[in-house]
């Protein structure tokens, strides 16, 4: 049986990847169209054949990433699995997103407040609300089915999970880039054990 080949990235995909790295590393406001064009080895005018502005680029970067992420969350919520398994899967999906899309995650973490002041990025606030609802739903189901302690403060638990998972984008680096270390799966495994089983002996 032959392996399924991965489609070659289009020039548009390549430009978005370059822009995402620059936005993540330099900041959206500090990155110019010329910066992106220079990194891509093209003239600024050539970039406008693909995108009308850097706002269009970051819009496509974030909306595409979030559509994929929340599609995974929706699948978890709709599954018939028990509450603990759903929580574990949501954690693993999140760490996988950090591993596979570090620049997109960093852009959202660093730029959502600024971008959200523009009408075209109003969906970022909606996604933030949707993210909260995903985790609150999972936590409440865990409490209701006895998987989680009945005395948990659901809002505080959600905030703890949100902040401790997504802040990992600031320190996590793929194991292969360091010549060893933890994969995102190993980090997720450890996190799940700490979250659901504690750290006391």
Residue 171, phi then psi, degrees to nearest 5:
-125, -20
Of the candidates 80, 98, 75, 66, the residue with the CA atom closest to the CA atom of residue 165: 98
Model confidence over 49-76: pLDDT tens digits?
Answer: 999 999 999 999 999 999 999 999 999 9
Q: b vs e for 33-51, b when ≥16 Cβ sit within 10 Å of the residue's Cβ?
A: bebbbeebeeeeeebeebb
What pLDDT, on a 0 to 100 scale, did the predictor assign at position 109? Answer: 94
Model confidence over 75-128: pLDDT tens digits?
Answer: 999 999 999 999 999 999 999 999 999 999 999 999 999 999 999 999 999 999
What pLDDT, on a 0 to 100 scale, did the predictor assign at position 63? Answer: 97
Model confidence over 130-173: pLDDT tens digits?
Answer: 999 999 999 999 999 999 999 999 999 999 999 999 999 989 88
What pLDDT, on a 0 to 100 scale, did the predictor assign at position 54? Answer: 96
Q: Are 124 and 62 in contact (CB under 8 A)?
A: yes
What pLDDT, on a 0 to 100 scale, did the predictor assign at position 3? Answer: 53
Q: How confident is the model at residue 191 (pLDDT cuts 50, 70, 90)?
A: very high
């Amino acid at each position: 049986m032959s392996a399924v080949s991965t489609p070659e990235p289009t020039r548009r995909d390549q430009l978005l990847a370059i822009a995402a790295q620059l936005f993540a590393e330099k900041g959206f406001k500090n990155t110019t169209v010329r910066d992106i064009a220079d990194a891509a080895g093209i003239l600024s005018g050539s970039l406008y054949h693909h995108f009308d502005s850097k706002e269009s680029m970051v819009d496509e970067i974030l909306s595409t990433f979030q559509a994929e992420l929340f599609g995974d969350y929706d699948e978890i919520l709709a599954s018939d699995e028990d509450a603990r398994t759903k929580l574990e899967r949501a954690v693993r999906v999140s760490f996988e997103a950090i591993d596979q899309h570090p620049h997109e995650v960093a852009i959202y973490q660093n730029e959502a407040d600024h971008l959200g002041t523009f009408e075209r990025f109003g969906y970022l606030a909606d996604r933030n609300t949707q993210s909260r609802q995903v985790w609150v739903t999972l936590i409440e189901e865990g409490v209701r089915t006895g998987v989680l302690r009945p005395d948990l403060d659901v809002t505080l638990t959600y905030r703890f999970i949100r902040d401790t998972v997504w802040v990992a984008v600031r320190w996590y680096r793929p194991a292969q880039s360091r010549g060893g270390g933890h994969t995102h799966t190993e980090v997720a495994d450890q996190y799940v054990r700490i979250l659901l089983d504690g750290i006391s002996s």
